[in-house]
Structure formats: structure tokens, C-alpha cells
């Protein structure tokens, strides 16, 4: 199926099968009861949070270049709407911000219904949730209970994704990463954490609680369906339009479904719908538009080495350090290297592959508002299990210096981050 979908735009090798003998030679830890194995290639979005922030930065830069008006506002909530006005609340200052839109695009994902209800007259889309529980450090790919248990290598560790519980209740306060009592329980004690599951595929590998360094729950918005299994519900995307009326003078476009695989196509479809309503012509498309650090990205190994050498020559930053920045930020590493070289920089005491100037630059340039923004959404430090209390305290100092936080604010941010990580990520 994957080969058929990508037949005209193939960027990966086709699938292949290996019989039992070859499979056991390639992976001796797999169960000898297998008949064969199949290998197929798929795309992966290793750091979606960075993609999001780079899309915002690119959009703002493009608007400034073209003399357009655009703004990105962080930590806002919708509190209501009436006639031609939408009311937003600044979660930091408590200020209410009135906005008068011509079109309202509801891209709240799993919270689409709650957003529409807050608007007042709009009707819910009757979404359905699928919660995906993620745990770390386990290898391979397995199948069970009509759904796929996926184990994939990520960030030099293994990542376990378990299709979990469909939900249709009132989860308006549920956040990505949220785990609630009684949901996605971790079974087992000192022995197997997932008895009867992982052992079928890798009988010689025992996964216990000590192997977990981070866990989170992704929430996928699915349209309402009578299907008995969430796997039978379409992952396709669509736009549901609520025309002006019932107290609102503007239409509401609710974006249903979708995934990273198709986010560019979905975005273009939404943009076309908006442009048509505003009677404007499209000036550009994003089919081949690089994002953020992907712009000018050297592909081949030799081209990459040449790029790194040139940036090292012009910035004065050693190639070894530039390589780390390049792997983290793509070609944005060039600007960061020049910024770092212009000041007295030094590595973090508790995480030497990050530097103080690097962290400060990210805090200033990428809308960091809370310490956990950096820990969870501007870096992978939490997800790969590399956070320690001394490191969190050091980062609070660096980010605090960059954003002019007083001592009390820094202490508050450390405690906030500690509580969030404990409650949401185990």
C-alpha cells in the first residue's frame, strides 16, 4: 500500500520480505516462531515542535520581507465571541484582546469542538479522539490485538508507540503529554512491563520501569464515526464550514483530521478556501518550499562537509561544534554560529554539547516564555531523558538572564517545570 501511494513521488526504497532464516540472521533477538518479516520505509517527523516554531519564524520573516502584516501570539486562549468580534485572553497578563476577523480558522485539533462551543453559536464537529501512549527504550516492530505495536529507533534510543484508548468525553483540559489516573497503565513490576505483548516478538528482551526515561500521550483528532475500531476511521483531512449566522458575522472553518504526512497539502487547501472567500489570488505555493533550517540544506556528505568548513571559516566556530549545531538546527546553524562567535561563550556545565550563548539565543528568538518551553518544545532534553535538577537550574539561570527574569521568577519556573514533567511525563 505504501509503495502504491508513493509510486509517482518515491523518495524511499520499495518494501521487501525476508524469510525466517534471513530474518533471524539479521535480527537474532526476534522470536524464532516467525514465518517471515517485511521491511518498508516511512517518513518520520523527529522533532515536530521545532518544525512548528520554524514555520512561525519563516512566516513572520516572509511577511516582513513582503511588507505584509502578520503576528504570532503565544499563550493565548479563546474566551468568547459576539457579532464581528472574537475575544482572546493573554494567559500571562490576563489582558483581554478583541480581534475582528473576516474568517475564523479553527485549527485546534482535538479541541475543535470546545473552541466552537466557546464561540457560542457554532455547532460541534463531533470529533473522536485516539490517544497514543508513547514509552521509550524498546526495539523492533510487532503486531497484536488488531492494531500495530510500533517500535522505532529515534534519537539513538528506541521509541514505543502503543495505539491506545479512543475517547469521546470532555477532555478540554487534556494537554499533549497528559496522562490521567487509570489511563495507559504501566503493567508489571520488576519483571516485564508489557507481559504478553513485547515478549511475543522479542522473548529475550525484558523491558521494565527502569528503561522508561520519558512518556507522553499524543491526541489525534478523528471525525465522528460508527466504526467499532479506531483503526477503521479515516485519517484523511477535511474542512467543515460553519457559515456566518447565529450571532456571528464571520464563517468558521474547522480543520478535521490530518497528519504530518499531509500537512502541506492540507495547509494549501485551507489557504485556497480562504483566498477564494477573500477574493484574492494565490501568489506562491509550498510544494517544494524548504522550511527553516532545511533551506539550502546540503544533501550529500561531501557537500555537507564543504558547507561546515565554509561556515567554520567565516564564523570562527570549530567544525566539530558547528556539526552539533547543524544536526540540531539545520542551516540555521550558520546564523547561530556567527552570533555565538561574537561573544564570550562557554558550554553548559551540566550538558556540554549545549552552550550558554546558544540557549540564550533560542530563548530570545523563538518565543520562549516559560522554562518548560525550552525543555520540552525548543530542545529534546526532556524527551531523551537527559534532564537533571542541576541542569534545569542551570538552564533557568541562562534563560532567565536572556529574558531578564528576577530571582523569584527563576525559582517559580524551576518548580513549574518540575511539576509539569512529573505530572505529564512520568
Map out the domains of the chain as residue ranges.
1-43, 46-73, 292-425
Q: Which of 48, 127, 118 is nearest to 76 (CA)?
A: 118
Residue-wise pLDDT tens digits, 69-112: 899 989 999 999 999 999 999 999 999 999 999 999 999 888 88
Residue-wise pLDDT tens digits, 308-326: 999 999 999 999 999 999 9
What is the per-residue pLDDT for 234?
77
Share of the chain above pLDDT 90, in %: 50
Examine the pLDDT at 124 and tell me if it is beyond 80. Answer: no
What is the per-residue pLDDT for 131?
46
What is the per-residue pLDDT for 185?
39
What is the per-residue pLDDT for 146?
43
Rounded distance between C-alpha atoms, residue 267 and residue 281, angstroms:
16
What is the per-residue pLDDT for 198?
63
Share of the chain above pLDDT 70, in %: 80
Q: Which of 116-130, 143-157, 394-408 has the lowest mean pLDDT?
A: 143-157
Scanning the structure block, which residue is given the C-alpha cell 511539576?
Answer: 419
Examine the pLDDT at 5 and tell me if it is beyond 80. Answer: no
**Of 22-31, 154-163, 227-236, 354-363, where does the model show the most confidence?**
354-363
Greater confidence, 276 or 190?
Answer: 276
Residue-wise pLDDT tens digits, 194-251: 555 567 788 887 777 777 888 877 777 777 777 777 777 777 889 999 999 888 999 9
pTM (2 d.p.):
0.83
What is the per-residue pLDDT for 153?
54
Multiple choice CATH, 292-425, 1.10.150.50, 2.40.30.10, 1.10.8.870, 3.40.800.10:
1.10.8.870
What is the per-residue pLDDT for 141?
40
Amino acid at each position: 500500500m505504501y509503495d502504491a501511494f508513493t509510486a509517482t513521488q518515491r523518495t524511499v526504497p520499495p518494501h521487501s520480505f525476508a524469510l525466517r532464516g534471513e530474518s533471524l540472521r539479521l535480527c537474532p533477538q526476534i522470536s524464532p516462531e516467525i514465518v517471515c518479516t517485511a521491511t518498508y520505509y516511512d517518513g518520520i517527523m523527529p522533532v515536530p515542535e521545532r518544525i512548528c516554531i520554524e514555520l512561525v519564524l519563516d512566516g513572520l520573516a516572509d511577511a516582513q520581507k513582503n511588507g505584509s502584516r502578520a503576528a504570532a501570539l503565544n499563550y493565548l486562549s479563546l474566551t468568547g465571541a459576539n457579532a464581528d468580534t472574537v475575544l482572546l485572553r493573554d494567559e500571562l497578563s490576563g489582558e483581554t484582546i478583541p480581534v475582528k476577523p473576516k474568517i475564523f480558522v479553527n485549527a485546534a485539533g482535538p479541541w475543535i469542538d470546545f473552541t466552537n462551543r466557546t464561540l457560542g453559536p457554532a455547532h460541534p464537529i463531533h470529533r473522536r479522539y485516539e490517544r497514543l501512549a508513547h514509552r521509550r527504550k524498546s526495539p523492533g516492530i510487532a503486531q497484536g490485538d488488531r492494531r500495530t505495536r510500533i517500535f522505532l529507533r529515534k534519537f539513538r534510543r528506541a521509541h514505543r508507540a502503543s495505539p491506545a484508548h479512543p475517547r469521546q468525553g470532555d477532555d478540554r483540559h487534556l494537554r499533549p503529554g497528559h496522562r490521567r489516573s487509570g489511563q495507559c497503565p504501566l503493567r508489571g513490576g520488576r519483571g516485564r512491563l508489557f507481559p504478553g505483548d513485547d515478549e511475543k516478538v522479542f522473548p529475550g528482551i525484558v523491558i521494565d520501569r527502569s528503561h522508561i526515561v520519558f512518556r507522553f500521550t499524543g491526541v489525534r483528532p478523528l471525525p465522528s464515526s460508527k466504526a467499532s475500531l479506531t483503526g477503521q476511521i479515516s485519517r484523511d483531512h477535511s474542512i467543515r464550514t460553519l457559515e456566518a449566522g447565529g450571532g456571528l458575522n464571520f464563517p468558521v472553518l474547522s480543520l478535521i483530521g490530518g497528519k504530518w504526512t499531509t500537512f502541506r497539502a492540507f495547509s494549501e487547501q485551507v489557504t485556497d478556501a480562504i483566498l477564494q472567500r477573500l477574493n484574492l489570488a494565490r501568489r506562491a505555493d509550498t510544494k517544494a518550499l524548504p522550511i527553516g533550517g532545511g533551506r539550502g540544506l546540503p544533501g550529500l556528505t561531501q557537500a555537507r562537509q564543504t558547507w561546515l568548513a565554509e561556515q567554520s571559516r567565516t564564523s570562527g566556530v570549530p567544525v566539530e561544534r558547528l556539526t552539533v549545531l547543524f544536526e540540531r538546527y539545520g542551516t540555521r546553524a550558520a546564523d547561530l554560529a556567527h552570533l555565538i562567535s561574537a561573544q564570550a561563550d562557554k558550554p553548559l556545565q551540566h550538558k556540554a554539547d549545549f552552550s550558554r550563548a546558544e540557549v540564550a539565543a533560542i530563548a530570545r528568538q523563538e518565543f520562549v516564555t516559560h522554562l518548560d518551553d525550552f525543555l520540552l518544545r525548543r530542545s529534546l532534553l526532556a524527551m531523551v531523558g537527559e534532564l537533571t535538577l542541576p541542569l534545569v537550574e542551570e538552564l533557568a539561570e541562562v534563560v532567565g538572564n536572556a529574558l531578564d527574569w528576577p530571582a523569584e521568577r527563576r525559582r517559580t519556573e524551576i518548580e513549574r517545570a518540575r511539576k509539569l514533567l512529573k505530572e505529564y511525563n512520568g
